[in-house]
Structure 1
């Protein structure tokens, strides 16, 4: 190569800057996406407050990507404990950490200005909740920003449809919406709704396209509808999570989580995995009922019993340790396992002994469960979860409702938990759902393979951002 081409060579590189919202389900999805993009030899810069970068790396599922993390200073923010007794289950205790992201705007702008002259194009991929942080991309001549939606295409479609006033025309669009789609009442706090509105205003000004952690195999009709509603393109490039988990048996450093060894000893598809994600705080009496219900169901289970994350995971504040009934862990020994630390969810879901997932239906958990072919017993708590429940149970048929969203203010009794778990794991209906989940999982994994729908969409997005 002649020396004169050297400058051109540097300019030919496209760089990507990732700007996640600091909540686990968001940090994690963009970390996985970073890994997939860097596999195309595109440099990826992942930005956030030091505490959130530390959080996402600590919890990452074995990843070896060459990412550049930027720890930007944010002033101290309040990191209160979650309130399990709040009527609205949305994690309002995280709001101060969301607000603190405003301080990332300056350092992100500075990074974009530094990268701009060295790259052919600076691509910013930002969480839909972080549009105000990256608003300065508008002043970067070779900058382009793409909105990443951390929720299902179905949920985004419903949201946009409501915003544009639900035109009747959609009835001509070949879409069948099931009855009983829950309203957004009880899903968010007023503060967060205002935050969404504010971000949406910024996003409209700078958005060059939309990315979704989903596959056409799962949500083709809704991706098509999104592409028909607005001007910008929507790419369904998921699932971002690894679709195969390395054989957990030959982990060279021997650091396998104890729950995986426990799973090895169980029968195929015999275990229900119980976890309510990182933003759910259950009240003590509900934890008691769940404990008794699981015990009386006589069903093998792994129950991840942790409080919701705080805004700053590493602050010294006390973390509530949920009380179980007297002698509980002794009594369920061998049949049930209570995990109080961080659990390797992907490895649990991909384990042959796991036959069902009792879940809050956050999108991260839904997409991981679908990918691994595990059916879902839905117990939605807040945010997009009630609507994901409709997608999982009514539209995809890979789950059933464990707790009705309409009854969210009532205690779910141990008796109804016991009956629900038994129906899910032992009935013919449960077996039908398990069969459909296995089929959908296989199709989704196939869609990520060369030539598959998600592979094609991903290639199309990469071709688009690296175009000359």
Structure 2
């Protein structure tokens, strides 16, 4: 008797907001292409509770993995990166590795409960910290871009000795000799020290090892946007795994789980309604990043100098509780009062409705740390970017956007690791950069044209009659024996 064909896709994201939102995006794609498949998202109890609330239309199943934060020295209720300062992330990284036996038992149970033929249709899509197991089809999903991912992997593979020139501080990647970096673009600082004893280093090396034990790598990018980065990834992986660009997977309003009220969001949007079209600078360094106190003062003083309207999603500076109360002492005296009195600026404490801000006609540019989700959200709305990378692959996102597409200008470069040197923003530089991006010059007009082209490219990737990401997704599903 022929066995029944069973399609069961298991999704296992890492507990960071960008990762969780990315996996919801993957789930939406799978539900559209595989309407009869079983989709199960695996995570810890608090993450499952949050994701369940934002995925009611997806017909997702959930599987809870037992996790008690206090058993790992974590605060009560800490099950995601949003509950910790950046320097304590490694504690959560290591704690999540303890979930492997429970996940292994779950997958083993799925495989043994199906017939041998149907077991081949169990597919695991996971973040890089989960390796292939039990003969199931396996894919790693990267929420970052291709170029940034390729550079980060190349740097980590060079540990403990990066070939940095003592003359000018530059580094040419042996794996990708066309890529030249400066030591100020290398983060975290332990890469420069070559410290193999660091816990974060050890964790990332384990992740890199897992990432090569897979059948496929899904990337949240578009083939036309990152041909260089995708080629770099394919060269690095060789015949170990295929690379599939299935982006852009851009968050929806309800994917973030941000604790903001509709009234709060409406106040922000009403203020934007009072501003001229394409006049406002939106500033945000992401949900888990911030800048140093002196940088915050310099940026605020520069905004005073420019006289341009701004909307700043502001959090306490580095060295303080990023989720804590914001103090007026971290800004120049009277800064917020002057902005309010002239209707020139708004400070949003904590969360801001970023997707709605970027889609608003008044928004002209985005001063961003250039995390990949923020990059895609900005470009998908045709908003040019002013880059201030703080860590990880953000430096390489800026490099790619500026050099290959001309849709980004770098304002400053600073690490969110206090051990690294920081290129503090210069208040005299801010007006010039804002003029380049937001001004009425041939250079700024060209940037606006380029970002409009990129916006249309990203949109076109998901047209059903020839969109590159649609085609890649369907080829991926065939390769995984899911279609």
TM over 0.5: yes
| Bigger mean CA offset, 441-450 vs 331-340 | 331-340
> How many residue pairs align between the two structures?
426
Alignment of 1:118-129 (within 5 A): 118=114, 120=119, 121-128=121-128
Matched position secondary structure for 2:396: helix
Taking structure 1 as reference, are residues 71 and 348 closer, same or farther at Cα in structure 2, changes over 3 Å only?
Answer: farther
Residue from 99, 102, 121 that aligns with 2:97: 102
Whole-angstrom distance in 1 between the partners of 2:185 and 2:250: 29
In the TM superposition, 1:337-376 aligns within 5 A as: 337-376=346-385
For 1:352 and 1:220, the matched residues in 2 are separated by: 31
| Structure-to-structure mapping, 1:38-437, within 5 angstroms | 38-40=31-33, 41=35, 42-54=37-49, 64-76=57-69, 77-78=72-73, 91-116=86-111, 117-118=113-114, 120=119, 121-128=121-128, 130-131=129-130, 135=131, 137-138=132-133, 140-141=134-135, 143-161=136-154, 177=179, 180=182, 184-186=186-188, 190-204=198-212, 206-229=213-236, 230-231=238-239, 232-241=241-250, 257-307=266-316, 319-323=324-328, 324-333=331-340, 334-404=343-413, 409-428=422-441, 429-437=443-451
Partner of 1:449: 463
Contact 1:125 1:148 in 2 (8 A): yes
Secondary structure of 1:445's counterpart equals: helix
Cα distance in 1, alignment partners of residues 345 and 173 from structure 2:
50
Give CA-to-partner distance per residue, 1:247-286, whole Å, 9 cap, x none: xxxxxx9895432232233222211110001221322232
Q: Matched residues in 1 for 2:449 and 2:140: separation?
A: 35
Residue 127 of structure 1 and its aligned partner are, at CA, apart by: 1.1
Normalized against structure 2, the TM-score is what?
Answer: 0.78
In structure 2, C-alpha distance between the alignment counterparts of 1:144 and 1:326, rounded to whole Å? 59
Report Cα offsets for 1:29-79 as digits up to 9, x if no partner: 122222221222233222222233455567x6x873222233322222455
Do the aligned residues in 2 keep the contact of 1:182 with 1:386 (CA within 8 Å)? no
Say which is worse superposed, 178-187 or 427-436, in terms of deviation. 178-187
User: Do 1:355 and 1:434's aligned partners in 2 also have CA atoms closer than 8 Å?
Assistant: no
- CA 1:183 to 1:354, structure 2 compared with 1: closer, same or farther past 3 Å? closer
Residue 412 to residue 238, structure 1, CA distance change in 2 (3 Å) = same
Which of 1 and 2 has higher RCO (CA within 8 Å, sep 6+)?
Answer: 1
Alpha-carbon displacement from aligned partner over 1:151-184 (angstroms, at most 9, x marks no partner): 221123334555677897867xxxx546758653
| Partner SS state of residue 361, structure 1 | coil
**Which residue matches 1:23?**
16
Q: 1:79 to 1:303 in 2, by over 3 A?
A: farther
Does residue 1:14 correspond to 2:28, yes or no?
no
1:188 offset after TM fit, Å? Answer: 6.1
Describe the shift of the 1:148–1:182 C-alpha distance in structure 2 as closer, same or farther (beyond 3 A): farther
Q: Are the structure 2 counterparts of residues 63 and 112 from structure 1 closer, same or farther at C-alpha, using a change threshold of 3 Å? A: same
Residue 32 (structure 2) pairs with residue 34 (structure 1): no
In structure 1, distance between residues paired with 2:317 and 2:124: 29
How many angstroms does 1:466 deviate by?
3.4
* Shift of residue 146, structure 1, vs aligned partner: 0.8
Q: CA RMSD in A?
A: 3.4
Shift of 1:398: 0.7
User: 1:33, 1:240 within 8 Å by CA — same for their partners in 2?
Assistant: yes
Partners of 1:421 and 1:157 in 2: how far apart?
30
- In structure 2, relative to structure 1, the CA distance for the partners of 1:104 and 1:371 (3 Å cut) is same
Q: Which runs of 5+ in 2 are unaligned?
A: 76-84, 159-171, 192-197, 255-261
Worse-superposed segment, 360-369 or 103-112? 103-112
**Gap change, CA 1:185 and 1:343, over 3 Å in 2:** closer
Structure 1, unaligned runs of 5 or more:
81-89, 246-252
For residues 169-212 of structure 1, the C-alpha deviation after alignment (integer angstroms, 9 at most, x for no partner) is 867xxxx54675865354667432221101222333x3111010
CA contact (8 A) 1:278 1:307 kept: no
